[in-house]
Structure 1
Amino acid sequence: MKFIRWFLGRVILLLNFVFSPKGVKRSDEAQQQVDAKAQSHALYQFEACPFCVKVRRAMKRQSVKFDLRDAKNDQTHRAELEAGGGRVKVPCLRIEKDGAVQWMYESSDIVAYLEKEFA
């Protein structure tokens, strides 16, 4: 079973690489504003998780770069996710706004948030 998961994960990553989406073209000033806004976000994820790939593809379509935190192999990030969000479930977007922290778990919710906030 572990081999099947590993193999399917590699297939997902290969297909993501081959069929990578194009990003939004913005002026330098507009992209700098998006980058500044994105600095207060972090995505807790597993590399080959299909739902995490879905969120990373949406990020690429919106030309947004968040801090990607590997909650599978990095125990520090895993502990942060569990302590802050309450459970180890990925993908999880950590949004820090005005000193408050929000944890968003569902990939569809994260994609909708990206389209709303960064389009």
Structure 2
Amino acid sequence: MKFIRIILGKIILLLNFVFRPSGVKRTPEAQQLADEKAKALTLYQFEACPFCVKVRREMKRQSIDVELKDAKNNQAAREELLQGGGKVKVPCLKITNQGEETWMYESSDIVAYLQKEFA
């Protein structure tokens, strides 16, 4: 079973690379504002998780650079996710707003949030 997951993960990553979306074009000022807003976001993810790929593709579409933390291979990131969000489940978007943290699970909710904030 583990072998199948490894193979499927590699296929997902390959397809994501081949069919990667293009990002939106913004004026330099608008892109700078989007970059500033994106600094308040951190995505906890597994590299080959299909739901994490879905969120990363939306980040690419919105032309934003969000900090990524690998909760599978990085024990410190995994512990941050467990302590802050309450469970090790990915994808999870940490939103920091005026010192207050919100932890958002579910890829569809994260994609909707990114579309609302950056579209």
TM-score range, shorter chain: over 0.9
The equivalent residue for 1:96 is 96
The equivalent residue for 2:59 is 59
Secondary structure, counterpart of 1:47 in structure 2:
coil
Alpha-carbon deviation of 1:99? 1.2
Q: For the residues of structure 1 that align with 2:6 and 2:71, how far apart are their CA atoms?
A: 16
Identity value in percent:
70
Alpha-carbon deviation of 1:18? 0.4
The equivalent residue for 2:24 is 24
Over the residues paired in the alignment, what is the CA RMSD in angstroms?
Answer: 0.4
With the length of structure 2 as denominator, give the TM-score of the two structures.
0.99
Q: For the residues of structure 2 that align with 1:19 and 1:6, how far apart are their CA atoms?
A: 20
Q: For the residues of structure 2 that align with 1:29 and 1:68, how far apart are their CA atoms?
A: 24
Ranges in structure 1 where 5+ consecutive residues have no aligned partner: none
With the length of structure 1 as denominator, give the TM-score of the two structures.
0.99
Secondary structure, counterpart of 1:65 in structure 2:
coil
> Displaced runs of 4+ in structure 1, greater than 6 A?
none
Secondary structure, counterpart of 1:95 in structure 2:
strand
User: How many residues align structurally?
Assistant: 119
The equivalent residue for 1:70 is 70
